[in-house]
Amino acid sequence: MAFEIWLAFAAASAVLLAIPGPTIMLVVAYALGQGKRAAAATVAGVALGDFTAMTASLLGLGVLLATSATLFTILKLVGAAYLVYLGIRLWRAPVTAADAGIATAEVSGRRMLAHAWLVTALNPKSIVFFVAFLPQFLDATRPLFGQMVVMEVTFVLLAALNAAAYAGLAARARRLVRHPTAQRLVNRVGGSCLIAAGVATVAWRRAAS
């Protein structure tokens, strides 16, 4: 892959990743509720989710989703329902005062990683998007496999860095909120954003049909 093409791909990917979506909402919600400990797990989940989505696209699932409205809708509704489920859990998470500060209900790193992975990988729009996006930067005169590997590694790394930046900012903002009432509000705002993302997904589907 020529350096100029790779640079254009990286720049376009960075711009697209910077636009907050359901995955970033989840990352921010966990960082606000759990602090820095959430960053590593959710960032790893985002990277794994994007890797899964891109690999699925390269293996042909994206083409199948683009041609099968039923399969696309089913996967989209499953992802929306999962977002709503996570939002409700976060909204209802208890907050208790501790001697060293405020501690929200703990969520294991493994669960946060799994949640971020599923939310990212279950987004059919991302899979179909990769099918349309990646070919724009492929050089048909060169071996395709190597180019695809370079693009996948580049996109996953940029996605991880983007998620880490959002998580870091949210974790710093959390330090300013120490009162239990404020922490509860943070959890409910984050949960509400996830629920809204899930509902918006369904609403968009109905409006488009």
Reported confidence tier of residue 153, pLDDT bands at 50, 70, 90: very high
Among 20-29, 152-161, 189-198, name the most confident range.
152-161
Check residue 27 and give its pLDDT. Answer: 86
Q: Domain span at residue 51?
A: 21-208
Structural domain contains residue 88: yes
Reported confidence tier of residue 202, pLDDT bands at 50, 70, 90: low
Among 51-60, 64-73, 163-172, name the most confident range.
163-172
Q: What is the arithmetic mean of pLDDT over 89-114?
A: 62
Pairwise pLDDT comparison (92 vs 165), residue with the higher score: 165
Check residue 160 and give its pLDDT. Answer: 93
Among 65-74, 108-117, 131-140, 187-196, name the most confident range.
108-117
Q: How many domains does the chain have?
A: 1
Average pLDDT of the chain to the nearest whole number = 76
Check residue 148 and give its pLDDT. Answer: 82
Structural domain contains residue 111: yes
Structural domain contains residue 3: no
pTM: 0.69
Pairwise pLDDT comparison (143 vs 179), residue with the higher score: 143
Structural domain contains residue 16: no
Contact (Cβ atoms closer than 8 angstroms) between residue 171 and residue 37: no
Tokens of 27: 């990352």
Structural domain contains residue 1: no
Structural domain contains residue 30: yes
Contact (Cβ atoms closer than 8 angstroms) between residue 170 and residue 28: yes
Reported confidence tier of residue 91, pLDDT bands at 50, 70, 90: confident
Contact (Cβ atoms closer than 8 angstroms) between residue 197 and residue 82: no
Q: Buried b / exposed e across 53-65, counting CB within 10 Å, b at 16+?
A: bbbbbbeebbeeb
Task: Tell me: pLDDT of 46 over 80.
Answer: yes
Triad 90, 96, 97: Cα angle to 5°? 140
Contact (Cβ atoms closer than 8 angstroms) between residue 40 and residue 167: no
The CA distance from 86 to 83, in Å, is 5
Pairwise pLDDT comparison (114 vs 61), residue with the higher score: 114
Structural domain contains residue 10: no
Q: What is the arithmetic mean of pLDDT over 161-168?
A: 90
Reported confidence tier of residue 48, pLDDT bands at 50, 70, 90: very high
For CA atoms 52, 58, 64, 69, give the dihedral sign: positive
Structural domain contains residue 165: yes
